[in-house]
Amino acid sequence: MKPEEKFAHRLLERHNLTPPYDLEELVSSYAKVDFLVFPDDADGISLGLKQYDKPRLYINSLRPEVRQRFTLAHELGHVIIPWHIGNIVSHTDVTRDNEEANFDFQLSRDDAFEYRQIEGEANRFAAELLIPTAWLVKTLEGVDIFNFEEALQEVIKQSKTSRDTALIKVFNALPPGYTCAEIDDNFVVINCFMSLNTRVRKLALGTDCGSKPYPIYKEKIFFNLGNRRYILWSFENCIELPDELLPNSWREVLNVILEDTGLQSKKQNINAILPSLFQSVRAKSDPEIFSCIVHRYSEREDLKGFIQHPLFDQYVVKRLKELRLKFPRCLWNLKI
């Protein structure tokens, strides 16, 4: 948890609050708030930070209600975070990564970078204030892919936040093994969310989900949030290690797969992937290593035929067995 998120967590603890709660009442304890029509595209303004007992906060009343609520929590972040001082004009969709943000005031390159940092910190404060991690983890207990939509709807309802804010927080709280893509009418990805340490690639914007971007997954569902469409995948982050069923060497098995799939030109590339990955994960258990290898191959769009071949698992387990013999586990702890 980042420092700004800890400030939000402590504030909620101090007031003994969990969603749903009266955000305006909480903010009024620390600042004077007015909702006004702004002449520009700003979401909020904080005046007199760390200069008055109760600084003045202005919220753009032209914004949708959910965004006004997030802005109010965002402005409270400016009040509470100790190093946010003076006057700040807030654009709550600006983060450190939004290098293309345009402002109606002039900022130097260094000031723009600092501004994005400050706004990013206030955003994270707001997200934690509205969707506390401890409360969220408890809310998500027992959730699986088939009741995910219901749980997500409950989070949005209780926290009164936007879909994107809820999705970001939810996927930061979920265990490894979940990826969600927001798609347009043509099944093209327009946003993507992934739980931490999930061993598959995050789908890039513009990815065609009609072409099965994940050849290997545990379960998959479609769901809607209002007018938005999503696909949710779950993955086995630790796949059970298969038995070695064939007497043939991994080289013989590989040649059969390449001949059947017409991927002979990819042989050198295929051969390099497995041992290279093994070196980076060899301290893990055998099922974990096998899972990492399977997921790494599944990320390759050009190797779909290879990983879908019925002998693929035999190739991997045989190759893995040879590498284990070459690098005994007793030597791994020595970091040789």
Q: Which tens digit of pLDDT belongs to each residue from 247-278?
A: 999 999 999 999 999 999 999 999 999 999 89
Share of the chain above pLDDT 90, in %: 63
pLDDT at 41 over 90: no
SS3 assignment, position 128: helix
pLDDT at 98 over 50: no
What is the pLDDT, as a whole number, of residue 84? Answer: 96
Among 57-66, 195-204, 325-334, which stretch is predicted with the lowest mean pLDDT? 325-334
What amino acid is encoded at 118 in this protein? I
pLDDT at 281 over 90: no
Question: How sure is the predictor about 109, in pLDDT bands with cuts at 50, 70 and 90?
Answer: low
Report the predicted TM-score, pTM, of the whole model to 2 decimal places.
Answer: 0.74
What is the pLDDT, as a whole number, of residue 295? Answer: 82
Helices (H), ranges, 58-215 = 65-80, 109-130, 133-139, 148-159, 163-173
pLDDT at 74 over 70: yes
pLDDT at 181 over 80: yes
Question: How sure is the predictor about 302, in pLDDT bands with cuts at 50, 70 and 90?
Answer: confident
What is the pLDDT, as a whole number, of residue 329? Answer: 58
Question: How sure is the predictor about 58, in pLDDT bands with cuts at 50, 70 and 90?
Answer: very high
Mean pLDDT is highest, among 16-25, 102-111, 288-297, for 16-25
Q: Which long-range contacts (CB under 8 A, 24 or more apart) does 37-43 make?
A: 37/61, 37/62, 38/62, 40/104, 41/91, 41/104, 42/89, 42/90, 42/91, 42/104, 43/67, 43/71, 43/74, 43/90, 43/91, 43/92, 43/93
**148 Cβ neighbours under 8 A, 6+ residues apart:** 221, 223, 232
Higher pLDDT, 97 or 157: 157
Average pLDDT rounded to a whole number, residues 45-66: 95
What is the pLDDT, as a whole number, of residue 288? Answer: 85
Average pLDDT rounded to a whole number, residues 193-207: 87
Element (H, E) at 225: strand 219-225
What is the pLDDT, as a whole number, of residue 283? Answer: 84
Angstrom distance (rounded) from CA 210 to CA 117: 37
Average pLDDT, the chain: 88
pLDDT at 108 over 60: no
pLDDT at 125 over 70: yes
What is the pLDDT, as a whole number, of residue 328? Answer: 66
Average pLDDT rounded to a whole number, residues 295-324: 88
